[in-house]
Amino acid sequence: MFRSVAIAIILAAALCAGAFAQRGGPGQKGAKSEAPLVVKALGGGAYAVEGGNGANTGFIVTPKGVVTVDAKTTPESAKDFLAVIAKTTPNPVTNIILTHSDSDHVGGLSAFPKGLPIWAHETCKKEMLASAGPMAAPADYLPTRTAAGNQTLNIDGVRIDLLYFGPAHTSGDIVVYFPAQKLAYIGDLVMVEQGDPLLHAEKGGTPAGWFKVVSQIVALDASAFVSGHGAAPITKADIQKKLAATQEKYDRIKALVAQGQPLAEIRKAFGESEPAQGGRGFASFTEVAYNELTKK
């Protein structure tokens, strides 16, 4: 059963100095220091893995194999993730589950053995197919097991619920829920150490969807939640706090829109600067909410 306090297992110094050194991303010169991978045991055979290149990942050890959640940004960092698993259990990786299509969650797939079942929402696969550039997933590592709604898996006697509550961060986010462990991997749906929620409007993410989905995450019978970014796990209270703070900001944006305030003035009201011209950053929550409220 889930432990109230996760046990942090920091990998050996040799691994930290070698396999987990930072690799620059495509087009980068040089390399910055990268946080070593840290494994946290969550009880019931489940683990969260922080650090490395890309989002937090996770895995659960079954009687015969290992089910992983997400795949890091690069094949190099995914190899480090696989090395962590090999140090934890002799069982082979047998299944991969993707929470959504962002490159920091799927970019390392080619490091995994070919032919493994890859589970995802069907829209996640569509978004991966539409992606391009060096971070796009290879064709032979696209999701192979998809559905439009919820799926319940039984892998070596371990029940795993893939829950789809609708578009939120993207149009294809799933929550990977282990009812026996009272544990949920939630991808980027809630990131408590970040500022506002990150919503990919270009992938169908919406504020209204985010509130709906996060409200259903809070309703799960779970004691811990592994977020895609920041320290893991987080608690239901952490999510409720983020939900309340975001609702308060959304309500303020809505009131300013009702007053006829333009986006530039609404940004100023929150102390936010204008995005840089030609910047590659994603639209802020304020902008996505404004566009939703004004139907742009």
Model confidence pLDDT, tens digit, residues 108-128? 999 999 999 999 999 999 999
Distance from C-alpha of 216 to C-alpha of 179, rounded to nearest angstrom: 15
For the beta sheet containing 66-69, the strands, ordered from the edge strand earlier in sequence to the opposite edge, are 7-10, 38-43, 46-50, 57-61, 66-69, 93-97, 118-121, 145-147
pLDDT at 132: 67
Longest Cα separation, the chain: 62
215 alpha-carbon distance from chain centroid: 17
Q: Do 67 and 98 touch, CB atoms closer than 8 A?
A: no
pTM of the model: 0.87
Q: Residue 1: which pLDDT band, with cuts at 50, 70 and 90?
A: very low
pLDDT tens-digit profile of 70-93? 999 999 999 999 999 999 999 999
Distance from C-alpha of 84 to C-alpha of 11, rounded to nearest angstrom: 8
pLDDT at 63: 97
List of domains in the chain: 7-239 (3.60.15.10)
pLDDT tens-digit profile of 4-60? 333 333 333 223 333 333 333 322 333 334 688 999 999 999 999 999 999 999 999
